[in-house]
Structure 1
Amino acid sequence: MGWNDEALGERGEPAGAPDEVAVLERWIGGALPAAVREWFLLGGDRRLAAVSSNLVTTARDFGSPAVGRFLDGGHLLLETDGQHCCRWVVEVEAAYGDPPVYLVDPDDDACTTRSRYAAAFSDYAFAQAWDAVLWAGEVAAGFDHPLPAGALEALKGRLTTLPVTYGWAMNQGCDAVYRFGGQARVAVAVVGGTAVWSAVAAADDGVRRALAGLVGADGDV
């Protein structure tokens, strides 16, 4: 088991770019955090770039001026929002293997505006890949609707709790995005007591409708 097994899926695909990773590590003067290193060596960057609507940094971008500006401040640029609303970065000299990922303002190369997006890089990798799959299928979606009291606890009782992220919800700010898996994929982006959006994907129409109703989006199915 590796750091990013859930996001990487099957390991039978060609490996990533060891030469580019080696060049980057010489540039920063040491090894990347283990989870970040694994992500690029096993091609997670390319897999995410293939399904994401954002601009994902791949190993072939390591020599670009944009990546270089962030490295000067000790961060690796991971991803840029498709509408240039924010960016995702990780510290390259983190003292632990699975460091947190931060959001920064789109033009803040020094990362002075950073705020926590994910508690661990592997949570970031999982969430970004999982979200892309969620929205690729048939989804019952609701927008700007009240989140019923106890809805998140009810989802925890019926589904598997997945990584939570903070600060950004696909196309807008948020307090947090909660994700659940199992017989359905459910994500709820929350600001206070409001779901700024909710999404339920399930093969069974009855399950999809029931879970959408549970989070208060039954009128938007």
Structure 2
Amino acid sequence: MWNAHAYDLLDVPVQVDPIAEAQAAAFESRWGFAMPAAVREWVVGDWRDWARGPSVDLPPMYHQLEMLSEEEPGSRLMVVDRDSQGCCAFVVSVDDHDDPPVLVLERDDTTGESRSTYTHQFTAFTHAMAWDLKLWRANFESRHYLPLPANALSWLQARLEPRPTTYHWAGNQWCDAVHRFGGPAAVMVAVEADRIQYSLVVCDDVRLRDEIHSVLWP
């Protein structure tokens, strides 16, 4: 299963939604391509009723499928998400492999000229989305716009478990990278050069939480 990490985080059964399957097939027929396998599995999955609650708004939703533009090269780039404020778009090439990179584009780019890599695989994109969703809904601590201590990221990597790193977009601003760490704590750090743009920490272990504070927010 391609997107198993995301499904595990959402704790949902995965099966094909027949309506989504029909919409995906119609979309592929219209544009004359087959979606990369990891993307298609995500699009047609009947997993959005998370924990028997309201639908989880995780893109791409089958009724929002679109190509970047009507003409090449944009017609070979499938939009898998758009920033909620219209600041950027996330696309995959339909001519790439089964688990393609996700690219982030600047506002109003219809050709892909401004592309930069957001994740190296689509499955890392869905994993990061699901992980972020759970983190933002948790009881987190946060700090913004601080110097990045020289050893903080290497310490977190050694002490915790690395999760997908994303690049160039930090949810509401451009960045170098967003680093994620899991295991006994959940930590997210968005960085630009030697600065923390924002950082979040969730940890129930008081001793470990104090260690993280001392390293990340000295």
TM range (shorter): 0.7 to 0.9
Unpaired runs of 5+ residues, structure 2, are none
Q: Which residue matches 2:156?
A: 155
Secondary structure class of the residue paired with 1:110: coil
Identity of aligned residues (%): 35
CA shift at 1:15, angstroms? Answer: 2.9
- TM-score of the aligned structures, taking structure 2 as reference length: 0.86
Distance 1:108 1:41, change over 3 A: same
**Given residue 102 of structure 2, which amino acid in structure 1 is its aligned partner?**
V
Residue 50 of structure 1 corresponds to 56
Within 5 Å, give how 1:196-211 maps onto structure 2: 196-211=197-212
Shift, 1:205, TM fit: 4.1
In the other structure, the counterpart of 1:119 is: 120
Aligned to 1:36: 39
Q: Find the aligned partners of 1:23 and 1:138 in 2 and give their Cα distance.
A: 42
Determine the structure 2 residue equivalent to 1:90: 92
- 1:58-93 Cα shifts (integer Å, max 9, x gaps): 10123xxxx245364211111111221111111122
* Secondary structure, counterpart of 1:164 in structure 2: strand
State the AA in 1 paired with 2:92. Answer: V
1: CA distance, partners of 2:70 / 2:118: 19
Q: Which residue of 1 aligns with 2:173?
A: 172
* Alignment-mate amino acid for residue 24 of structure 2: V
1:79 aligns with 2:81: yes
Distance, in Å, in 1 between the alignment partners of 2:81 and 2:46 is 15
Question: 1:70 aligns to what SS in structure 2?
Answer: coil
Does the CA contact (< 8 Å) of 2:181 and 2:188 recur in 1? yes
Distance 1:144 1:44, change over 3 A: farther
Aligned with residue 19 of structure 1, among 18, 22, 38: 22
TM-score (norm 1): 0.85
Answer whether contact 2:67 2:77 (CA < 8 A) is retained.
no
Residues 3-29 of structure 1: per-residue CA shift (max 9 Å, x gap): 111112245255331111111221232
Distance in 1, matches of 2:94 and 2:48, equals 16
**Equivalent residue letter for 2:56:** A
> What is the root-mean-square deviation of aligned Cα atoms in Å?
2.1
CA–CA distance in 2 between the matches of 1:7 and 1:87?
21
Greater CA deviation, 140-149 or 3-12?
3-12
**Take 1:77 and 1:46, find their aligned partners in 2: how far apart are those partners?**
23
Q: SS state of the match for residue 124, structure 1? A: helix
Task: Tell whether the 8 Å contact from 2:105 to 2:114 is kept in structure 1 after alignment.
Answer: yes
Q: Is the 8 A contact 1:78 1:89 kept in 2?
A: yes
> 1:5 aligns to what?
4
Aligned-partner SS, 1:84: coil
Partner of 1:189: 190
| Letter paired with 1:4 | N
Count of aligned positions: 207
Distance 1:134 1:82 in 2: 18
